[in-house]
Amino acid sequence: MTALVLVSVFLGALLLVVGAFVFINRRRLSAADAARIRVGDSGGILRSETPLSILKDERVSDLATLNQLLSGRGFTILLEKELTHAGSRQKPGEFILFTVLAGMMGLTIAQFFLGALIGLVIALVSASIPWLLLKRKQGIRRRKFEVGFPDALDLMTNALRAGYSLQAAMEFVGRESPAPLRQEFLRFYDEQRLGVDVRTALMAMQERIGTEEARLFVTSLVIQRETGGNLVELLTNIGNLIRERLKFQANLETLTAEPKMSARVLAGMPFVMFFAVYSINPQYMQPLINEPIGKLVMLYALISVIVGYFIMSRIADVDM
């Protein structure tokens, strides 16, 4: 009976998340369907019932009430920047809704088994999962950019040596480079073609990427355009500097691998021991699960494990 209730709660929460996603993205999905209809199997172009616009969609949510509530807020602007750094197409309103739904799912399941107090902590932990996934996506995108950026600079210097202008060289790099470099360089090229000043387009590119390499690259280009100099030599030196920096980072990650792994092992050990003892002797663990003092001890242990893990991870994370 307990397992049936748990499965029902999980399926209900899953359907709620899927339904909310479809409802929030209904306009985007309908636009995609309309595009497929216009293209069709035969390649014919049909008239769309939904008017298309080339203007940037500045709404933070497709829900009018939520859009009005979040528009212009400092928190919304910061969240939009974080989503941009992760390369996510989600709007801030969608991300906030998923965070709330994740917290509700954690609260519902934990309160059913562990009580209201621990359920509140579990809700906070589950609500932080979308943020952790966002940070992980940012790290993956940042790493791809750092690894591919020196090769992109080599392509740009070769294009400049061949007589390309800066804008044409940026387009060439965008067409020949993998993601996420492709999107950023091509977006810079499109923006300056539409009349955006080169300096403004470069600063916007730096803001979207948000890495030290991008800041170094953009700052060097802006200074070179104002003071002059050999652009090819400048980009060559930047590429060599970034490669040396990547080598140093690799050596640093090797040296900090042991404390990072220790943090993971120590954080996972209490959970492994709990389930191991519970599987061997369930009655031995019943006071810890059923008694109020036992629930408080479990809550304290959970908070201690989370805090200890983040402290050890922070110690092993060396900022450069």
pLDDT tens series, the chain, 320 aa:
454 455 555 555 665 665 665 555 555 555 555 544 444 433 443 344 444 445 566 677 766 777 777 777 778 888 888 888 888 888 888 888 888 888 888 777 777 766 666 677 778 888 888 888 998 898 899 888 888 999 999 999 999 999 888 889 999 998 988 888 898 899 999 988 888 888 899 998 888 888 888 898 999 888 988 888 888 999 999 999 989 988 888 888 888 888 888 888 988 898 899 889 988 988 888 888 788 888 788 888 888 888 888 888 888 776 65
Beta strands in 130-192 (DSSP E): none
Tell me: do 212 and 303 sit in the same domain: no
**What's the rounded Cα separation, in Å, for the pair 152 and 181?**
8
Same domain, 236 and 150: yes
Dihedral sign (CA 92, 94, 139, 207): negative
Residue 229: alpha-carbon gap to chain centroid: 37
Q: What are the structure tokens assigned to 106, written together?
A: 């954690």
179 within a domain of the structure (yes/no)? yes
Tell whether 278 and 240 lie within a shared domain.
Answer: no
Does 210 share its domain with 296?
Answer: no
**Does residue 34 fall inside a structural domain?**
no
Question: Is there a single domain that holds both residue 262 and residue 203?
Answer: no
Is the residue at 122 inside a domain?
Answer: no
Each as own residue / partner, the long-range contacts of residues 108-114 (CB below 8 Å, 24 or more positions apart, any chain) are 108/9, 108/13, 109/6, 109/9, 109/10, 109/13, 112/5, 112/6, 112/9, 114/289, 114/295, 114/298
Cα separation values, 168 from 21, 156, 215, Å: 40, 9, 21
234 lies in the same domain as 261: no
Cis peptide leading into 180, omega within 30 of 0? yes
Q: Is residue 6 part of a domain?
A: no
Condensed to tens digits (0 to 9), the pLDDT of residues 86-129 reads 888 888 888 888 888 888 887 777 777 666 666 777 788 888 88
Residue 67 lies in a domain: no
pLDDT in tens, 48-100: 444 444 556 667 776 677 777 777 777 888 888 888 888 888 888 888 888 88
HSE-CB for 201 with a 13 A CA cutoff: 18
Question: Is 227 inside a domain boundary?
Answer: yes
Which of 195, 221, 246 corresponds to the end of one domain?
Answer: 246
Number of domains in the chain: 2
- Host domain of residue 270: 255-316
Indicate whether 35 belongs to any domain. Answer: no
